Amino acid sequence: MGLILDTSILIESERRGEGVEDVLRRSRDLHGEIDVALSSVSAVELTHGIYRARTDADRVRRRVFVEGVFHDLITHPLTLEIAQLAGRIEGEQAAKGISIAVQDLIIGATALHLGFDVVTLNAKHFEAIPGLNVVAL
């Protein structure tokens, strides 16, 4: 059992001036001593955020936050098994007329593959992924 943090949780924490330690503490206060990790998709999204910062000060603040995230959390790669699971979910849901953003699909498939829950501020983005447990922080 563990948690995959959606990027939305980390972005909100960075905007509030928190560190990754604060996110980990809140996660473990609410869910116990469990593994907390990221999908590689979040690594892309967080790095993207550094380079789209409007000011040098914002860029530096984001870089420091993201480096802390990468230092303190395991980032699970997109493996063949996760890619195949994501493809199956996407195909099954598309056949029902349900569309899932690829980023959310991969984050959700990573969590399912690991037997983890997803923590997000955007629960609606993950509701269409069968079997995925979405929790609040």
- The answer to whether residue 137 scores a pLDDT higher than 90 is no
Average pLDDT, whole number, for the chain?
Answer: 96
Alpha carbon of 71 to those of 38, 48, 52, 110: distances in Å? Answer: 12, 17, 22, 20
* Residue carrying structure tokens 């959606």: 6
CB 37, CB 76: distance < 8 Å: yes
Report residue 124's pLDDT band, with 50, 70 and 90 as the boundaries: very high
* % of the chain surpassing 70 pLDDT: 100
Residue 74 host element (H or E): strand 74-76
* Domain range summary for the chain, segments of one domain joined by +: 2-135
Tell me: domain 2-135, CATH 3.40.50.2300, correct? Answer: no
pLDDT tens digits along 28-52: 898 899 999 999 999 999 999 999 9
Residues in Cβ contact with 135 at an 8 Å cutoff, skipping those fewer than 6 apart: 3, 31, 117, 118, 119
